[in-house]
Amino acid sequence: MVKTIKLNDGNEIPAIGFGTFQIPNDGSTYQAVSQALAMGYRHIDTAVAYFNEAEVGRAINDSGIARDQIWVTSKLWLQDFGYEAASKAIDQSLKQLQLDYMDLYLIHQPYGDVLGAWQAMEAAKKAGKICSIGVSNMTPKIWNQFVPQFATLPSVNQVEFNPYTQQRPLRELLAPDDVKLEAWAPLGQGNSQLLNEPLILELANKYGKNAGQIILRFENQLGVIVFPKSVHAERISQNQDIFDFELTDTEMTQLAALDQGKGRHDPDAPGVKERLLSAFDVHQND
């Protein structure tokens, strides 16, 4: 049975999913997603800026698993902000994924005509093309800039999150509205220092788990939705094997003390929008 977390719109999202960031669209994404689904994952996270939606969709269609048993997330890229552009982009993602609807759709980077994009997402939700809508990479500052203008509250905010980057001010801001945090880089994107923290290794030894499983369990017990990425079958399997033990309150407090209060990515830094726009052209093959 896949563990779920209830969102503020009533939908139930699988607590752990499979991330596809930086997996190439050369067959690797198809293979990795197919493996993940065969191993029991029922939550797949992609984005138009990952350039692998088509392979994700093909793997889902070829899996033989009923559509309503798989939670699919994709995201709107900066070039498609504004009402008209976002409306077209939503339809394009559905076409690439070969799906009638997406379970969750996010504003990937919160710059530019975010309000127009959000209104297009609200309309798509009303039309049944999207079940839940949310945002990504919103700091408290960015959240307070945009979200008070939204007619519908986001269900999730997907941000960098791991024991070194615990987003405490953001979690305090989101809690009253029951907006769930989703973690990208839940394992620190392979940060060897994090994976070799003495406390984490000590707990791994105690529970007969690896460091990654301790980290993911910590995040899960905080109520954070995680979707670690791997292309290795053994690691894909291990990453979801986190529900047969529970960290104690003392251990949770000890792990919370690892927080460094900042991450590798600062969405509030000047020039982020321009850097991201120049890094990804989602219409390069149009």
Report yes or no: 54 and 20 within 8 Å, Cβ to Cβ.
Answer: no
Query: Long-range contact list for 91-96, CB < 8 A, 24+ apart?
Result: 91/129, 92/48, 93/48, 93/53, 94/129, 96/48, 96/53, 96/54, 96/57
Catalytic residue among 50, 105, 111, 164: 50
Strand locations in 32-179, DSSP E?
A: 43-45, 71-76, 102-107, 130-136, 156-160
User: Is 50 one of the catalytic residues?
Assistant: yes
The C-alpha atoms of residue 163 and residue 198 are separated, in whole angstroms, by: 13
Alpha carbons 169 and 219: distance in angstroms, whole number:
16
DSSP state of 269: S
Residues annotated catalytic, as ranges: 50
